[in-house]
Structure 1
Amino acid sequence: MESANIKQILEAYFEGETTLAEEKLLENYFNNEKISGDLLQYQPLFAGLKAAKAEQSTRAFNLPETSKQKIIKTWWYGVAAMLVVAFGVGTFFFSQPQYSQEEKEALAAFEKSKQAMLLLSENLNKGTQQLTHVSQFEKTKDRIFE
Structure 2
Amino acid sequence: MESVKIKQLLEAYFEGATSISEEKMLQDYFNNEKVADNLVQYQPIFVALKAAKEERSTMVFNLPETKPQTSKKWWYSVAAILVVAFGVGSFYFSQPSYTQEEKEALATFEKSKRAMMLLSENFNKGTERLTFVGQFERTKDKIFE
Scaled by the length of structure 2, what TM-score is found? 0.66
Matches for 1:61-76 after TM superposition, within 5 Å:
61-68=61-68, 70-76=69-75
Q: RMSD of the TM alignment (CA)?
A: 3.5
Shift of 1:127: 0.8
Greater mean alpha carbon deviation, residues 21-30 or residues 2-11: 2-11
The percentage of counterpart residues that share the same residue type is 65
Secondary structure of 1:83 counterpart: helix
Instruction: Tell me the equivalent position of 2:122.
Output: 123
Partner of 2:28: 28
CA drift of 1:47 comes to 2.0
State the TM-score, normalizing by the size of structure 1.
0.66
* Structure 2: gaps (5+ residues): none
- Mapped partners of 2:138, 2:108: distance in 1: 45
The CA deviation at 1:140 is: 4.6
Partners of 1:109 and 1:39 lie apart in 2 by 104
Aligned equivalents of 1:74, 1:125: Cα separation in 2: 64
CA change 1:137–1:19 in 2 (3 A) is closer
Q: After TM superposition, list the pairs within 5 Å mapping 1:1-146 onto structure 2.
A: 1-68=1-68, 70-91=69-90, 93-94=91-92, 97=95, 102=100, 110-111=109-110, 113-141=112-140
- The Cα of 1:46 is off from its aligned counterpart by 1.4
Summarize deviations over 1:89-113 as a string: whole Å, max 9, x none.
Answer: 544x426635559566765665555
Deviations 1:45-100 (A, max 9, x none): 212212222333343211233435x4433433343344344444544x42663555
Report the number of matched residues.
144
Tell me which moved more, 9-18 or 96-105.
Answer: 96-105
Amino acid at match of 2:61: F
Deviation at 1:131, TM superposition (A): 0.8
